[in-house]
Amino acid sequence: MTATTDGSTGALPARADSASETDAPFPQAAGTVGTQDAAEHAMRRATDFLLSRQDAQGWWKGDLETNVTMDAEDLLLRQFLGIRDERTTHAAALFIRGEQRDDGTWAAFYGGPGELSTTIEAYVALRLAGDAPHEPHMAKASAWIREQGGVAASRVFTRVWLALFGWWRWEDLPEMPPELIYFPKWMPLNIYDFGCWARQTIVPLTVVSALRPVRPAPFPLDELHTDADDPNPARSLAPLVSWDGVFQRLDKGLHGYRRVAPRRLRRAAMNAAARWIVERQENDGCWGGIQPPAVYSIIALHLLGYDLQHPVMREGIASLDRFAVWRDDGARMIEACQSPVWDTCLATIALADAGVPADHPQLVKAAEWMIEEQIDRPGDWSVRRPQLPPGGWGFEFHNDNYPDIDDTAEVVLALRRVGHRDRERAEQAIARGVRWNLGMQSRNGAWAAFDVDNTSPFPNRLPFSDFGEVIDPPSADVTAHVVEMLAVEGLAHDPRTRRGIEWLLSEQEADGSWFGRWGVNYVYGTGSVVPALVAAGVPGAHPAIRRAVGWLEGVQNSDGGWGEDLRSYAYAKEWSGRGASTASQTAWALLALLAAGEKESKAVERGIEFLARTQNEDGSWDEPYFTGTGFPWDFSINYHLYRQVFPLTALGRYVNGEPFTGAEGS
C-alpha cells in the first residue's frame, strides 16, 4: 500500500517491482533509441527552462519551503513587539489555513503525519488572526491537540513562545543561563559545542530565559490543555543512572542557581551575549541568513533595551520581510532561509552537464556572481581553526559568519565547469576554496557541514534540545561532495582525500546504501557517495559500488522512478528507499547508477523514461514532496529548484556522458 499524500495511513509504500535560448550543442550518445531521444528532448526543454529562471545578477534561487511554524512564529514575534499589522496577519493566516490537513492538524512536511508542536503554533497564529475556537477547523485542531497531550506534550520551543504571553510558566521550562557565554571552548557545553544553527539560537535564548518576559495575552488558550485547571502538569524524572536523569537534575540545579546568581555577573553575561549577537549580524540585518536566530536575537536585544528604531533592530526586523514569499492568491509564506549560492552552483553544474558551452554568457555571469560571494574573513569556524585562512562560501545571500563545506565543494565544482573571462581570478578563488575545505577536515577523515569535530555528546542531552539536531558531526553526503571536488582538482591520491574515501567506505550500510544527512535520505546519501568514489578512482567493480547498485535497483519503484519518505529518519530501515517517486530523488539514483557504469541497464532506462514522462511542457517538474533536510525528521525542506537542477544533471550525464573520469585505480 503506497503512502497517501495526506499521510493518513502511515503505511509503508510498496516495494518496487523486481525488475531561455542557448546555442549549446547537445551531442548524441549511444543507448536505447527511444530512451535516448526522450532524454535529449527532456534535456533541451529543462535547459531552456532553467536558463530562463536566472536572475539578471547571475544567480538562481528557488523557494525554500518548510512548514507553518515559520509563519506562526513570525506573527507571534510581531505580536510580542507590537508591530503586527492587518495585511501581514491576513496573508499569513491565508497560507496557514491552506496547509491544514483534513483531520485538523498541520504536518512538518508534505504527506507527513500531523505534528503536535506545528499544530499548536499554527492554531495560536490563527487565533491571532481572528479565527474563533468554535469554528470547525479550529475545534478539530484543538481536539486533536488535547488527544496528543496538549501543550504540556509539545516541544520546548513551542512552550517558550507560549511563555512569552503567559500561556505557559517560565519556571516549567528548561533553564539556559546566559553565563554559558563565558564557558571556555575546552569546557563541556560551551557555545561552540553546539552546531552553528543551534548556537545562534541558544545565545539569544539564554537572555530571554534569564529575563522571562511576559506580554499580556490577547486571549486564553484553555482549549489546548488536557486539564485547564492544571495546565502545567509536573513531569516525572528519569532514573539518575540514565543520561536523561543526569541532565534533568542538572536542569533543576540551574533553576536553583537562578535564585542565587550574582546580579552583576548575570547582567555582565547578558551584555556579553548581546555583544556576541550584534557582532554576528549580517550586512543585510539578518543573523546567519536564517530566520530562527533572527527572531530570537531581535527579542533578546529588545529585552535588553534596544528600541525598535535602533539600527540593529530596524535592520533586523526589515530582514525578516526578505524571507517572505507573496503568492498570487495573496498568501504569504515565510522561508526559513534562502539558498542562492547552493542553487546557483547546482544550476551551473546541471547546465554544464547538459552541454551548455563553458563560455555561455549566463554561465559566465553565474561564475562571476559566485566568485563575488566568496567569504574573505574569519567566522565562528575559526574558533577551532584559528590559523586557517578563509575562503569558503555560504549558503545564503548574506552569511559571512558561517560558510559551509558543502557549498564550498559544489561551488568549486561549478567554477571548474565555466570558461571565465579572468582565469587567474577564478583560479585564485578555487584555490582558496580548496584550501579552506581541506583545513576543515575532522579528525576522523570526514567533513561536516559547518564546523570541525563538532561531535560532543552532551548538547543533545540537554532538556532544552528537543527541537532537532544541535551538533554538526561529519556526514557521508558532505564528505562525498568534498572528495568529488578534490578528485576533480587532481587530489584523488592526496592522503587527506584517501582518508575521506576510507571513511566513506566504512560508513556504507549493510544493504549497500549510505545515510543522507542533508537530503532524504538513503537515496540522497547513495546518490552523493557513488559518483564521488568513482571520481576518486574507486572502480565500478568495487564491492561497495556493486552493493550500492544492487540496493538502488532493489528500491526502484514500479513507475521507474525512485522516492523516499522522510519517515526513513524516524523509523529507520523500514522506510529506507521507500516513497512516492520524485524527480529529484530519481535523479540522485540515476547519478549513482550512471557513475557506476550502468547506463545500459534496465534500471537506468526506466529511470530516464520516468523523468521524460513526468516532465511538464515548459521543461519543469512538479514535486510537492520534501526531499531536503534541516534536521532529520524534525525539520524538513522542499527546495523548489531541486526538481529542476538534479533531473537536468542526470539527463545531461545520460546523454553526454560523465563530466570526468577521476583518478585511475583504487
Are the C-beta atoms of residues 662 and 480 closer than 8 Å to each other?
Answer: no
Q: What single-letter amino acid sits at 542?
A: H
- Residue ranges covered by each domain of the chain: 33-62+339-440+475-656, 65-226+248-334
For position 27, what pLDDT does the model report? 38
Print the SS3 string covering 280-303: CECCCCCECCEHHHHHHHHHHHHH
The SS3 of residue 159 is helix
Active site positions, annotated:
406
For position 663, what pLDDT does the model report? 39
Q: What single-letter amino acid sits at 202?
A: I
Lookup result for grid cell 516549567: 172
pLDDT single digits (tens) 528-571: 999 999 999 999 999 999 999 999 999 999 999 999 999 999 88
Are the C-beta atoms of residues 477 and 422 closer than 8 Å to each other?
Answer: no
Cite the DSSP H helix spans in 491-641. 495-506, 522-535, 543-554, 567-570, 583-595, 602-614
Helix H or strand E encompassing 351:
helix 340-353
Rounded average pLDDT over 581-606: 98
Residues contacting 36, CB < 8 A, separation 6+: 28, 29, 30, 655
Greatest Cα pair distance, the chain, in angstroms, is: 78
Q: What is the mean pLDDT of the chain?
A: 91
pLDDT single digits (tens) 282-314: 988 999 888 889 999 999 999 999 999 999 999
pLDDT single digits (tens) 3-35: 333 334 455 555 444 333 333 333 333 445 599
Q: Read out DSSP for 133-146?
A: TTSHHHHHHHHHHH
C-alpha cell at 244: 536523561
pLDDT single digits (tens) 40-91: 999 999 999 999 999 999 999 999 999 999 999 999 999 999 999 999 999 9
Residues contacting 518, CB < 8 A, separation 6+: 406, 449, 475, 477, 478, 524, 628, 629
Residue 263: pLDDT over 90: yes
Whether 65-226+248-334 and 33-62+339-440+475-656 are alike in CATH topology: the answer is yes
d(CA 440, CA 453): 9
Rounded average pLDDT over 142-153: 97
Burial of 27 (0-12, 13-18, 19+ CB in 10 A): exposed
The answer regarding whether domain 65-226+248-334 maps to CATH 3.50.30.20 reads: no
For position 271, what pLDDT does the model report? 97
The alpha carbon torsion through 340, 345, 349, 352 (nearest 10 deg) reads 80
d(CA 91, CA 68): 13
CATH number of 33-62+339-440+475-656: 1.50.10.20
Smallest Cα–Cα separation from 640: which of 103, 68, 110? Answer: 110
Question: Which contacts of 186-190 are long-range, i.e. CB under 8 A and separated by 24 or more positions?
Answer: 188/456, 188/458, 189/456, 189/458, 189/459, 189/462
Whole-number CA gyration radius for the chain? 25
Q: Would you give the end-to-end CA distance of the chain in angstroms?
A: 42
- In Å, what is the CA distance from 10 to each residue of 6, 13, 16, 74, 383? 9, 9, 18, 30, 44
Buried b (16+ CB within 10 A) or exposed e, 243-265: eeeebbebbeebeeeeeebeeee
